[in-house]
Structure 1
């Protein structure tokens, strides 16, 4: 079995120390094979915030960490840096790669940089990115769980969240579904949910699941929802996938299981 820890929107600079400690403890207990942080690593893309994030990731008990940027990881108030070196502090702390990938016998994970310095909070996926990801998905091994990680969501539940949808999301969903994607991981709106996109989009003819994560450790929770992360458990022999949502419980200062979903894969 392969275990993936999916966290998002850590927003270091607004982190809650007791929640961050609890998340490190969860990872120590579970020992995931891979951790995916789907953007908004920091609150304001400052060097000190990235330094704290780097220390946190170094302490996270996962042998591989795959991180993509979110809109908060580009300077907001430093206009010069935003225009001429938007990923400077990010790359200094986390490496030069903005669209990292991972592949082993159990999983193929493709990170996509959906941030655009000129779009402020909005995200975008280009035709070139959609095609690149599609070709990589088509090359997946038969038993691999095929995962795409973006920051902004490709599907939202609420009318008020539609402004947060990834530009180009419909084209991406249809192309990646046809290419064999199983899961699309996202964050950005600080709400955890799982939906089968086959049921939401007419041209999607096989199960493809959006798995959205809440905010992992930040005090910037939404609508009173607790901090949360996802544990994705995959059994390649049966092509069986289970997602466990783990919520922070203030009474015990631990992350505890809040929901379990079995996802049908084609």
Structure 2
């Protein structure tokens, strides 16, 4: 079995050390092949907070990592950095590539940056970004699980979620579904959800993984995608998405939802 762990909205500077340790234990217990962190690594985009986030991600011991910036990872109070230096502190810890692509085992993940230096919270996608992601999806290995990760959610589960979607979200979903996307990963809303967007496309929104900035009555949570080779599945691979919530009573993450999401 190959495992991908999706975490979002870490908000270092507003994090819970006990939950951080539990998430690292779970990652090591599952033997995570790839960790995807879809933004808001920090609370206020300070250098010490980015250093804390980097140490946490390293402590997951994933063989591959894909890390995206969120709106909280752009300086708010150091406003002068927003002109030309908005991603400087992020890049010091996670590299200059704001739209990384990773292929590890059964997973092929394309990252897309929905943040904008001139915006505090709302996201956006350009037509060029949408086409670039579509071209990358078309190049994916035929048997790979084709996944797109973004900070802002592209599909809304309810009216409240619609305000969190980036500009051109509908256009992106339609284009990427046609290009072969099978899963969209996002965060931002702190509202865990898994739903089908039709046409073989699934959508998974992660809650806040390790922050005490909880919303919607949801605990700290993260998502685990797994691929298991089996002769029982039509394509030879069974794919599953699972939600893991932090249980404060035992100090560990526990699986609360497991959903088959197709075969490869």
Quick check: TM above 0.5?
yes
- Partner in structure 1 of residue 167 of structure 2: 167
Q: Write the distance in 1 (CA, Å) between the matches of 2:203 and 2:9.
A: 16
| TM-score normalised by the chain length of structure 1 | 0.94
Residue of structure 2 equivalent to 1:124:
124
Seen in structure 2, the aligned counterparts of structure 1 residues 104 and 56 have a Cα distance that, compared at 3 Å, is closer
2:75 matches 1:75 = yes
- Structure 2 gap ranges (5+): 230-234
Q: TM-score, normalised by structure 2?
A: 0.95
Runs of 4+ residues deviating >3 angstroms: none
In the alignment, what sits opposite 1:201? none
- Could you tell me how far apart the structure 2 residues matched to 1:168 and 1:160 are? 18
1:10-31 deviation line (CA, Å, top 9, x unaligned): 0110000110010011011011
Match of 1:219 in 2: 212
Instruction: Output one character per residue of 1:175-211: Cα deviation in whole Å (capped at 9) or x when no partner.
Output: 000000000100000011111111xxxxxxx210111
Change (3 A) 1:239 1:169: farther
Count of aligned residue pairs for this structure pair = 259
Distance 2:218 2:201 in 1: 25
In 2, are the aligned partners of 1:126 and 1:168 still within 8 Å (CA)?
Answer: yes
Question: Does structure 1 conserve the Cα–Cα contact (< 8 Å) formed by 2:243 and 2:258?
Answer: yes
Distance 2:216 2:192 in 1: 12
* 1:196 alignment partner in structure 2: 196
Q: Tell whether the 8 Å contact from 1:148 to 1:184 is kept in structure 2 after alignment.
A: yes
2:44 matched residue in structure 1:
44
The aligned residue for residue 63 of structure 1 is 63
* Secondary structure at the counterpart of residue 76 of structure 2: coil
